[in-house]
Amino acid sequence: YHAWYEQRTPASKQAAAEAEAVIPGGVQHNLALNDPWPLSVVRAEGAYLHDADGNRYIDFLQAGGPTVLGSNPPAVRAKVLELLEHCGPVTGMLHPAETRLAKLIHDFMPAVHKFRMLGSGTEAVMAAIRAARAHTGKAHIIKVGGAYHGWSDQVVYGLRIPGTGSLEAAGIPKTALANTAETAPGDLEALRARLAANAAEGGTAAVIVEPVGPESGTHPVTREFNAQVRELCDEFGTLLIFDEVVTGFRLGMGGAQGYYEVTPDLTVFGKCVAGGYPGAGGVGGREEVMAAFAGGLTAAGQRALTGGTLSANPLSCTAGYHTLLEMDRLDAPAKAGAAGDRLREGLDALIARYELPYVTYNFGSIVHLHTSGVLHLSLNDPEFFDKLGPRKDMLEHMSMAFAAEGVITLAGSRIYTSMADTDDVVDEALAAFER
């Protein structure tokens, strides 16, 4: 496929060389789409991306998840342009769109009584942990191994660079991780043991989970797991945080909490909450927990701080509000999910026909295509990360080979579908995967 890039993507090659001079590593996004060089994408519309050389790609990256309507939907764009005409992107004052968005989220997810808009999923996780600690007066948090909750110091624990065994923890002092523990996906006994051990040290403020399993379900958990974690949290006086940065509105307008019928204390939002516009983050949940952010003092005599010059700006809130309205009106999660089902069934058929050692499964519009054996490994295995050795190269090769055939994926192993993925688009993609 390198020959294809040489012939077909000279403008991207040039753009990559220019970026290399001023951007560390020459790329800011999508670390798995760079061999031989990253593609310079200059147009995005519905189901398609177009690069600087005029090549067209089916877009199964969908920017990493926020665009369930497809890229740059005209109805949302019109509302954003209207706002820019009248108000501009930011004033630092209260704007009606903030309240409208918070109300709408509560309509879809009744457990989100109060909602605070922030700048990103990473910030929203930080805020959720802070609120949990302020409310419970406890310091420890527990996350599930392999889960991604953004890049703040305290949750990077355990994230490894695939294939190297090295922690992605350069620049993070060990003390920053002192109150963070990890247990393996699905391992309730380990979670109970950790909660009990923490109880002897002042207790656990929160357990944070990605409800479909770590890394958007790369390590899937059973359907019962979330309910069982809920019970354990109640037993230990610990709050349950659902990280719905990916699943929120994508799995359904009720999110994973609707899908699994489990009520978390706090929910973390990102991506969809600003409909693909910047400033996509928020935390919401039980009134008495969210009260930590109300400006007053908690029982412990302290106040929990959130901030952000651009947090809850009119542009993000307007884009988020109209995106969610439009998604609901058009039944976008179900349509994107149907595209995911069709794609996964087609991939299964190809895998069977060519007898490939691959595995696929999907949660609606979150589709996994594992070509590197990750599912055969247990996160409990102490050599897990060493055994993942070939994975990084494999993912890079698969993602670039798919792109050369006209399909952009997330790291060659995950696919986000949108409602712009009609049957024709999915069939075109399946033909590309077959090639």
Instruction: Please answer whether residues 223 and 262 qualify as being in contact, where contact means their C-beta atoms are separated by less than 8 angstroms.
Output: no
The nearer residue to ligand PMP, 321 or 416, going by C-beta atoms, is: 416
Q: Least separation, in Å, of the C-beta of 319 and ligand PMP?
A: 14
Q: Which residues fall within 8 angstroms of residue 155, CB to CB, at 6 or more apart?
A: 125, 129, 141, 143, 149, 180, 208
The nearer residue to ligand PMP, 154 or 422, going by C-beta atoms, is: 154
Enumerate residues 31-70 that contact ligand PMP by CB under 6 A: 64
Enumerate residues 231-250 that contact ligand PMP by CB under 6 A: 243, 245-246
The nearer residue to ligand PMP, 83 or 128, going by C-beta atoms, is: 128
User: Pick from 361, 359, 416, 391: which is nearest to 160 by CA?
Assistant: 391
Binding residues for ligand PMP, rule CB under 6 A, total: 15
Q: Tell me, yes or no, if 271 is annotated catalytic.
A: yes
Q: Tell me, yes or no, if 348 is annotated catalytic.
A: no
Q: Least separation, in Å, of the C-beta of 150 and ligand PMP?
A: 4
Q: Which residues fall within 8 angstroms of residue 278, CB to CB, at 6 or more apart?
A: 315, 316
Q: Is residue 320 a contact point for ligand PMP (CB under 6 A)?
A: no
Q: Is residue 210 a contact point for ligand PMP (CB under 6 A)?
A: yes
Q: Is residue 182 a contact point for ligand PMP (CB under 6 A)?
A: no
For residue 28, the 8-state DSSP code is S
Which residue of the set 79, 138, 271, 335 is catalytic?
271
The nearer residue to ligand PMP, 346 or 364, going by C-beta atoms, is: 364
Q: Least separation, in Å, of the C-beta of 77 and ligand PMP?
A: 21
For residue 147, the 8-state DSSP code is -
Which residue of the set 148, 157, 277, 321 is catalytic?
148
Query: Strand 281-285 and strand 266-270: pairing?
Result: antiparallel
Here's the x/- map for ligand PMP, 129-168, by CB under 6 A: it reads as: -------------------xxx------------------
CA distance 34 to 16: 9
Instruction: Please answer whether residues 315 and 308 qualify as being in contact, where contact means their C-beta atoms are separated by less than 8 angstroms.
Output: no
Q: Return the structure tokens found at 61.
A: 């990256």
- Three-state SS string across 225-236, please? HHHHHHHHHHHH
CA distance 115 to 266: 10
Q: Tell me, yes or no, if 57 is annotated catalytic.
A: no
> Residues in the chain, how many?
435
Residues classed as catalytic: 148, 243, 271
Binding site for ligand PMP (CB under 6 A): 64, 120-122, 125, 148-150, 210, 243, 245-246, 270, 280-281
